[in-house]
Amino acid sequence: MALTAFLLPASDLAAQTKPIDWRTFTAETQAILANYLRINTTNPPGNEILAARFLKAILDREGIEARILDTTELGPNRANLYARLRGNGGKKAIALVHHMDVVPAVASYWTVDPFSGVVKDGYLWGRGALDMKGDGIMHLMSMIAIKRSGIPLTRDIVFIGNADEELGSTGAQVFVDRHADLLRNVEYLITEGSDNYLDANGNVVYFSVGVAEKRAFWQHVLVKGTPSHGSKPTKQNPVPRLIAALYKIAQYETPLHVTPGVDKFFRDISRTYPEPRHTWLSNIAAALGNPEAREWILNDVYWNAILRNTISLTGLTGSNKTNVIPPEASAEIDIRLLPDQDPDSVLALLKRIVADTAVHFTPLLTPKPPLESPTNTALFSAVERAVREREPKAFVTTPMETGATDRPIYRRLGIITYGLSGFKLPQVEIQRGVHGNDERVSPDNIAYGVRFFYDVLRYTQ
Ligand SMILES: [Zn+2]
């Protein structure tokens, strides 16, 4: 039998695969997701080992090699999970990565118990349904569907569950630091970092492939002075000096800059706009030179944020007593850089703008490595094909993520990483549920996502 299979051309091999009964497979998928949502992996403290054991048991049952990793390094009750479905090694592997932890849920704000995994009103409810246990189960079950149907693989499929994405990203960090060998032949990596966009009638306008993300470059700003009584003002009061510096920063307009993914994003969405907006968006760099177009474009807070480095003044501390001039005053600034920007030059520029050596900047975090993935790849084409087949009116585009994901950590190893979602959700569900309350997903949507990933994996072979 094995010999016959070996001699057959690929097209005949494909014909030998066993079809999946998607109706029963969907029911099985829903039950697995409900159980996954019942595992409380609120971070802190995480307790991801429970999730890792749960996933490993399923993988063991399917005969897919799986390992629980990094339990010592990540601390008590924490772990990463790694699994691999082997192909013939003809091409490099593709990895599906999700985080097993979830943000806290305040039960009193929820309609149901956030860890009940209950089905109600046509939805499966639970913290993590959208961010990102739902995706994790889409990844898992699409891989299992490939295994069960016996599709011949040229690329291994790697499945990873990480701890701690929602807090410190230690899960991905430790994984990349300790297991570069397990990722050595991985060419593509898929994780969160993009939302598909629906119109008011619930039709998909576009599917998103996240190819780039902003880099957080938060700063602590400090001015030291001499404490004294508020009744006798002095020149050594650090508060006005800090305010003067912050005012200059607030007045500063960061330059506009179009990165390749953002350029493509605007070109892609231009087709959904009437003139003159269609023309403006189809050449965003030119439009930014036109005052009318520029005003309209930058009025959109998301578009503004993907066209420039942004600076938000957020934290502020002076005296905690009205009649005391404090010894120091400080602020925190949320700076987000476009992927191709150099953090050191941006910091040097800020210092020049402030032009006061008494104002001290200290980075609150090291920026993650820059992330801007190419779109002329086998995986990107596979996504386009899978989308075309199920949503012929929709297109695939590349919005930039303004927040942060674990993608750049994997990018460090040279892996081409994408944000990809199998959800077909109205914006309102995403906004309410993700890090909010009443996070839920319809079972149909989970089934849709599993088949979407199943096709993407097949078409990338
Ligand atoms: Zn997430």
The verdict on residue 10 lying in a domain is: no
Q: Are 248 and 271 in the same domain?
A: no
**pTM score, whole prediction:** 0.88
Share of the chain above pLDDT 70, in %: 97
Residue 151, SS3 per DSSP: coil
Q: Which residues of 207-219 are buried (b: 16+ CB within 10 A; e: fewer)?
A: bbbbbbbbbbbbb
Residue 2: band (very low, low, confident or very high) from pLDDT cuts 50, 70, 90: very low
- What's the 222 CA to ligand 1 centre distance in angstroms? 32
- What's the 169 CA to ligand 1 centre distance in angstroms? 11
Q: Are 192 and 54 in the same domain?
A: yes
Q: Cα–Cα distance between 395 and 119 in angstroms, integer? A: 32
Q: Which residues of 235-264 are buried (b: 16+ CB within 10 A; e: fewer)?
A: eebbbebbbebbeebeeeebebebbebbeb
- DSSP, residue by residue, 281-338: HHTHHHHTTSHHHHHHHHTSHHHHHHSB-EEEEEEEE--SSTTEE-SEEEEEEEEEE-
pLDDT at 427: 86
pLDDT at 371: 87
Residue 202, SS3 per DSSP: coil
Q: Which residues of 19-35 are buried (b: 16+ CB within 10 A; e: fewer)?
A: ebeeeebbeebbebbbe
- Pick from 342, 367, 392: which residue ends a domain? 367
Q: Could you report the per-residue pLDDT of 363-401, keeping only the tens digit for each?
A: 998 888 888 899 999 999 999 999 999 999 999 999 999
333 with 316: CB under 8 angstroms?
no
pLDDT at 108: 96
Q: Cα–Cα distance between 174 and 170 in angstroms, integer? A: 6
- What's the 333 CA to ligand 1 centre distance in angstroms? 23
- What's the 46 CA to ligand 1 centre distance in angstroms? 14
4 with 79: CB under 8 angstroms?
no
Pairing of strands 395-397, 204-210: parallel
- What's the 56 CA to ligand 1 centre distance in angstroms? 21
Q: Could you report the per-residue pLDDT of 69-121, keeping only the tens digit for each?
A: 999 999 999 999 999 999 999 999 999 999 999 999 999 999 999 999 999 99
User: Is 70 exceeded by the pLDDT of residue 409?
Assistant: yes
The verdict on residue 235 lying in a domain is: yes
Q: What are phi and psi of 378, to 5 degrees?
A: -60, -40
Share of the chain above pLDDT 90, in %: 90
- What's the 180 CA to ligand 1 centre distance in angstroms? 23
Considering only CA atoms, which of 369, 342, 337 is closest in space to residue 172? 369
**Locate tokens 């993914």: which residue?**
261
CA distances 347 to 145, 315, 410, 430, Å, are 49, 18, 26, 34
Q: Are 416 and 335 in the same domain?
A: no
The verdict on residue 279 lying in a domain is: yes
- What's the 210 CA to ligand 1 centre distance in angstroms? 14
Q: What stretch of H or E contains 32?
A: helix 22-38
Number of domains in the chain: 3
User: Rounded mean pLDDT of the chain?
Assistant: 94
The verdict on residue 9 lying in a domain is: no
**Looking at residue 336, which CATH number applies to its domain?**
3.30.70.360
Q: Are 282 and 171 in the same domain?
A: no
- Pick from 332, 367, 402: which residue ends a domain? 367
Write out the E strands in 364-415. Answer: 371-372, 395-397
pLDDT (average), residues 341-359 = 97
pLDDT (average), residues 56-67 = 98
209 with 398: CB under 8 angstroms?
yes
208 with 197: CB under 8 angstroms?
yes
pLDDT at 369: 85
Q: Are 48 and 196 in the same domain?
A: yes
The verdict on residue 5 lying in a domain is: no
Q: Are 230 and 337 in the same domain?
A: yes
Q: Are 58 and 123 in the same domain?
A: yes
Residue 452, SS3 per DSSP: helix
Q: Are 262 and 184 in the same domain?
A: no
Q: What stretch of H or E contains 59?
A: helix 48-62
**Looking at residue 93, which CATH number applies to its domain?**
3.40.630.10
- What's the 404 CA to ligand 1 centre distance in angstroms? 9
Q: Cα–Cα distance between 48 and 349 in angstroms, integer? A: 42
Q: Which residues of 116-132 are buried (b: 16+ CB within 10 A; e: fewer)?
A: bbbeeeebbbbbbbbbb
- What's the 138 CA to ligand 1 centre distance in angstroms? 14
pLDDT at 13: 52
Those residues with Cβ within 8 angstroms of residue 192's Cβ, 6 or more apart along the chain or in another chain: 98, 99, 131, 132, 135, 210, 405, 419, 421
CB neighbourhood size of 447 (10 A): 20
User: Is 80 exceeded by the pLDDT of residue 428?
Assistant: yes
pLDDT (average), residues 278-299 = 98
Q: Are 264 and 292 in the same domain?
A: yes
The verdict on residue 1 lying in a domain is: no
The verdict on residue 27 lying in a domain is: yes
Q: Are 106 and 188 in the same domain?
A: yes
pLDDT at 3: 44
Q: Cα–Cα distance between 214 and 367 in angstroms, integer? A: 10
- The 8-class DSSP code of residue 114 comes to T
User: Is 90 exceeded by the pLDDT of residue 442?
Assistant: yes
pLDDT (average), residues 300-326 = 97
189 with 378: CB under 8 angstroms?
no
User: Is 70 exceeded by the pLDDT of residue 4?
Assistant: no
- What's the 192 CA to ligand 1 centre distance in angstroms? 6
The verdict on residue 3 lying in a domain is: no
pLDDT at 15: 55
- What's the 136 CA to ligand 1 centre distance in angstroms? 10
Q: Are 385 and 420 in the same domain?
A: yes
Residue 424's domain spans which residues? 18-211+373-459
Q: Are 233 and 379 in the same domain?
A: no
- Pick from 308, 327, 352: which residue ends a domain? 308
Q: Could you report the per-residue pLDDT of 180-224, keeping only the tens digit for each?
A: 999 999 999 999 988 999 999 999 999 999 999 999 999 999 999
User: Is 90 exceeded by the pLDDT of residue 14?
Assistant: no
Residue 152, SS3 per DSSP: coil
Helices and strands (DSSP H and E) totals, the chain? 18, 21
